[in-house]
Amino acid sequence: MSEFGDRMRAQRRLLRAVNANAWQEELFGLSSQAIDRWADRSGLNPESELVSLLRAASNRLSFLANRSQMQITEDYRRVSDEVRNLTGEIQEAMGRARH
């Protein structure tokens, strides 16, 4: 599928990983405002590891969004890999945040 579709799927994977835990409210998206709301409702420190990782993933997806009109490049592949790795780190951080 398209880079656009890839980006949406990456976002969905991240949301699914986060929402696998029973938070006060699900994470609705990876925009900065959606993360702010979720962190607040979940009682998480905005500077915590988990929230910081989500912000990093959000920033990397924004990087891809700003290049959605461009051809696939090495940059794009590198950032896609970074987002995939961040998903794993977020899953690990969630385990720590719940303990």
Angle at 61 between CA 54 and CA 9, to 5 degrees: 95
C-alpha 31, offset from chain centre = 9
Binding mask 1-30 for other proteins (x = CB under 8 A): xx-xx--xx-xx--xx--xx----xx-xx-
Q: Are 87 and 57 in contact (CB under 8 A)?
A: yes
Does 59 bind other proteins (CB under 8 A)? Our answer is: yes
Of the pair 45, 70, the CB lying nearest other proteins is at 70
Nearest distance from C-beta of residue 34 to other proteins, angstroms: 4
Only segment of 43-51, 65-73, 77-85, 90-98 that touches other proteins (CB under 8 A): 65-73
Q: How far is CA 25 from CA 28, 66, 67, 79, 91, in A?
A: 9, 29, 31, 29, 17
Per rule CB under 8 A, is residue 69 in the interface with other proteins? yes
Establish if 32 lies at the interface with other proteins (CB under 8 A).
yes
